[in-house]
Structures are given as C-alpha cells and as structure tokens.
Structure 1
Amino acid sequence: MNASTLVMVPARMASTRLPGKPLADIAGLPMIVQVVRRAEEADVGRVVVCTDTQEVAEVVRAHGGEAVMTREDHPSGSDRIYEALEAIDPDGAVETIINVQGDLPTIDKAAIRASILPLAAPEVDFATLTTQITDEEERSNPNVVKLVGTEVSPGILRALYFTRATAPHGDGPLFHHIGLYAWRRAALERFVKLPPSPLEMREKLEQLRALEAGMRCDAAIVDTVPLGVDTPADLDRARALLG
C-alpha cells in the first residue's frame, strides 16, 4: 500500500432512478461497503468514502471503513472527493487520488490497480480505464461512452476524445470508457476549478472539460466492464453476481 495514494469513493443518496442505492443490500452488505471491500482488495492506498449523508457514513464506519462528510451541493463526484481531500490531507502528502464510483460493487481489484499505470508517464495529468467493445449493440448505444484514442504503449491509449456517438468511423476496434479515474493532485485541483466546457455540456461528459483545457488523459485497457448499478434491474444483476 502506498501512503501517497488515496482511493476515494463518492456516494450520495439522491439517485433519481434508484433512491438510496448506496445502502441497497447486495449479498448481505450495503452496496457502498461492497465497493469499499473491492477498493481495499486492490491494496493500493487508504480508502475513504466521501458522502453527503450521515447514514451512509455511519454504515461505512460500522463495517470498519473510513468516511468523510461533504456538502450536498456538489455537481459531480470529482468536486466531492476534492472537498474531502482538502479536509483529510491539508498538508498535501497525498499525490495520487483514485476516484472509484460508489455504484461499482463488482469492480475488479486488478482494474483499480491498472488505473494508475498510465501515470508512470510524467506528462499524463489523469488516467482512466477502457475495454474493447465486443457487443455489437454497444457500438451504437449512446449510454455506452466511447473513448477515441491512439496507442502510446502496449495496453495504454492516449484519450483524444470521449463521445456517446459511434466513433471513430471506419474499420477497427471501438473502446468502451469505464468511469474510474486516477488523478495527480495538481490536475484534480485544476479540474474542479475549471468552468463547465461547451463539449462537456453537449455530450454530458465531464471528462471533456479536462481535454478542452489541454489536460492529458491516458487509459489502461482492461478485460471487463464493471457493472454500474443505476436501476432496480442492475441491482438484481449485482446481487446475482456477488451472491
């Protein structure tokens, strides 16, 4: 475990499609605790849940985890983890922050570890994950975000764009973006202070704000897409997978 790396899990109760989902039971544990377990299994750094709900914090602590309270008005998980980071590490000892979404109970520990690999290149501001699309339906599904990139080393793509469209055009693989990020601290601070950008608002993808500002994002290619729990059907699938 690296003391300069912090795994932060943002969680909020105000989900419109699945209210109260951080506390939904999955295989005998609240979903947020399942996510904490996966992050702990990765063994890359201290794990902290960042939440605006006291009940979530209490549940995490009751299961031996660490939780930090944040404001309710954050527009994104990135803003939430930055507030928590400043509160728990005001002296700046933490250099790398891995943002693991609180609705990914099936995330593979190997994927969490892979997210920091692109940061070995000093010119990379933040890193993410991607996997090659094998399901034909996903190629045209706007809910599947595509990463358009170019290979810079084996298993690593430099992200040139993110889109809900089918892209790039022509023959060749398409890549499904996985919304897990590893940030250099300075890059995260810069990002949360930027205003929303035109392409971000058009595509409804906040990572485009960083690209429009000239920040570099590289992506590690992994084998699988973790199940994001957004609906009751997703919750049933997660229960089946982890049960």
Structure 2
Amino acid sequence: MAAFARRKAQRLARPDASRKRSLDARAAGLARLLNARERFCTASSCDGRVLVADTDGGGIQKKNCRWLLVTHDPCAKGDVMTALEKATGDVVFKFEPFVLHVLCREMQDAQLLHSVAVDSGFRNSGITVGRGGKITMAVRSTHCLEVPLSHKGRLLVSEEYIEFLVQVANQKMEENIRRIERFQKGLELALEAAVSTDTLAPERPEKSRSVYVHRRKRRTPREQADPSRELEPQDDTESSLDLFAEIMI
C-alpha cells in the first residue's frame, strides 16, 4: 500500500507530457474522480479526437508526423479541406476514441473499473500486470477510423468522399461522448457501492477463509462402520469446483 502511494505521488507530480500540456475537458472529470481515491492513479488519457496528420510515408507516428488538424469535438468538411492545403506528404484522416489508463492498487480495483468500462461500451478494455506487480487498467474502444487522403501532397479522394468521412467521424464522436458519460455515471455508482462494502469488511474474513478448509473430514469409527453414510456437503464435487472458481477469480 505504501509503495503504491509513493508511485502515485511521483506520477501526479510529473509535468503533463502531452502536446497540449493539459487534460482534455471530458477526461479531466474522470481523472479527478479517480485520483481522489487512494486506490487509483490516472496515467494517461484522451477524450477522443478527429485528427488530420501529414506523415513522411512511414505511417502515422508521433515522432514523424505533423498535425494539420486536431479537434475533440465534431468537425466540418471545410476544416479538413483547409488542413489539406498545407499537406506535403501522405495525409491520414483519423478518429480516435476515448482512452484512459489507470494504475490500480489491487487487482480487485482494476476489475471494478473493467466491469464498468465494458458495461459502458468500452469493450476493448483490459488489465495488464507489469514488473513489480504494477496493475494497469486500460479503458479502450474499437470504433476507430483511419483513412488515407493524399499521397506526396496529391489528393486521392473527392470532396464528396471527405464530406462522407466527416459525417462518419462525427457520428463516432457523438457515440464516444455518450459512452464517456455512461462510464462516469457508472463509475460514480460503483465507487460509492465499493465504499459501502468496505464498511462491512470486518464481517467478511471468516467467509473468505472458509474456501481453503474444504477438506475431507476424518470419518469417526461409527461412520467407518456404516459405508452407506453419505459424505458431508462440503466434501462433494461441487464444493471442489467452487474452490477452483474462486481461486481463478
């Protein structure tokens, strides 16, 4: 617990390494909500964006591309056409949905976030465990969009097609915003429920330990003399399966 608290303090003290040097508006509320809890620490986030990037032909990499347009709100075809006037290489039009990475103190904390994220529509979310047992929960979605528009400064598609792409991207942005809102509301409820459950923790240890003592009882001389006597309920196959399932979880 102390190690996680130190790691959290160090990370939150770092300067923002993003291009804009600040949190996106929709992600900021979630970051405050999570960082206010000692069990969580946000690592990185983006609340979703439409991007027009000019690359050198080697792919859309942060180190070798120039952003001609970036917006975290719905955009217009005119914005894209204006951005294309500055193109000199291979231009890509992208929609990138909301993403959030959260460091979690314990696996059960990551599982709580994962459950809320999936229920909110972020079905590509996942949990990773790194070196030293660092637990990271990533909130991700699959409704991305990436389309090449020009090659070596020459436009490859029509304005009509660009207008269609903008409409598709804006629809994805609107859905992205709805999912963020669902995630925040669901997270608030889940965190409140978790706090309520923690207050009952003293009553739970006996139950949690009981799964490890489901061993076959020694049969008394009377039981040994009566081979027709059935096993106790805790000795049956179902109890063994329950133990296996709980260990897997």
TM-score interval for Structure 1 and Structure 2 normalised by the shorter chain? under 0.3
| Structure having greater relative contact order (Cα 8 Å, sep ≥ 6) | 1
Q: What is the TM-score of this pair, normalised by structure 1? A: 0.22
Q: Which structure has more helix as a fraction of its residues?
A: 2
Q: Which structure has more strand as a fraction of its residues?
A: 1
Q: What is the TM-score of this pair, normalised by structure 2? A: 0.22
